[in-house]
């Protein structure tokens, strides 16, 4: 039998306690990727329609989650977004009227068409703002009157000019 004094001299080693027992083992990378993927799914009007049809927008916890996801609009996160329309739709989803409207197929189609036309015309619309506009033509010097007259009137004027009065 080991005396209590001996057990104090040779303590049994226990595993070290982690600094933060609640810390995510992958430092939040998986959560980051899942939230990024979900936010980018919101760029698809058909997916938003699916969420509305399945009554996700009636769940207050889900509405709170959509509000929480607005942090993706901050500069340190927005750089990871590949589909910027998702942030536009995320902003629209903060409005109950939009959430209710997206339950109707016509609203889904309208949003899809508007998105299509945005993509279709994006380049041309951007070029209008990026490319320099041509400088206006300089004003031409006034043309002498005798060059503007009809050829017959010019000859008549010349004859009158040479005739003494």
The pLDDT value given to residue 117: 77
Q: Which residue has the higher pLDDT, 132 or 38?
A: 38
Assign domain 29-129 one CATH number from 1.25.10.10, 3.90.1200.10, 3.40.50.970, 1.10.10.1340. 1.10.10.1340
Q: Where are the domains of the chain?
A: 29-129
Is the pLDDT at 58 greater than 90, yes or no?
yes
Is the pLDDT at 71 greater than 90, yes or no?
yes
For 139-160, give one letter per residue: b (16+ CB within 10 A) or e: eeeeeeeeeeeeeeeeeeeeee
What confidence tier does 165 reach under pLDDT thresholds 50, 70, 90? very low
| pLDDT-wise least confident of 27-41, 48-62, 134-148 | 134-148
Three-state SS for 66-86 is HHHHHHHHCHHHHCCCCCCHH
């Amino acid at each position: 039998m080991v005396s209590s004094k001996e057990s104090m001299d040779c303590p049994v080693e226990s595993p070290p306690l982690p600094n933060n027992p609640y810390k995510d083992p992958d430092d939040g990378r998986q959560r980051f990727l899942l939230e990024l993927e979900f936010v980018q799914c919101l760029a698809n009007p058909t997916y938003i329609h699916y969420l509305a049809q399945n009554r996700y927008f009636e769940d207050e916890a889900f509405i709170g989650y959509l509000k929480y996801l607005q942090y993706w609009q901050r500069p340190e996160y927005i750089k990871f977004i590949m589909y910027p329309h998702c942030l536009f739709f995320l902003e629209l989803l903060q409005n109950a009227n939009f959430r209710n409207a997206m339950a109707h197929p016509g609203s889904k189609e309208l949003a899809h068409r508007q998105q299509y036309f945005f993509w279709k015309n994006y380049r041309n619309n951007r070029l209008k703002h990026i490319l320099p506009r041509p400088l206006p033509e300089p004003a031409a010097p006034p043309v002498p009157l005798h060059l503007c007259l009809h050829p017959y009137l010019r000859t008549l004027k010349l004859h009158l000019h040479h005739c003494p009065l």
